Structure 1
């Protein structure tokens, strides 16, 4: 059943923040997920990038 969700909040850096998930979702909230690993990449207003799985 695909009823999981993940949400991230970027801190530090320079807004605005762009969020891209490994399943193609954009934005800080990723819903309708099945069990598994997901990676989110966050890019800030200075184009600095961070990634977390």
Structure 2
């Protein structure tokens, strides 16, 4: 993710429903219609996202 992405998320996360974000993450990971390579890339980026935003 770019620095601009992080800046945008930093601003938006303050008002976000973290429980809803967690549910969306689960839904994406459990989708059967995504290429496995896309899921793996999502999971790789998700690690940083979860650490930074505590979701």
Q: As a proportion of its length, which structure holds more strand? A: 1
Q: TM-score, normalised by structure 2?
A: 0.21
Say which structure, 1 or 2, has more relative contact order (CA 8 Å, 6+ apart).
2
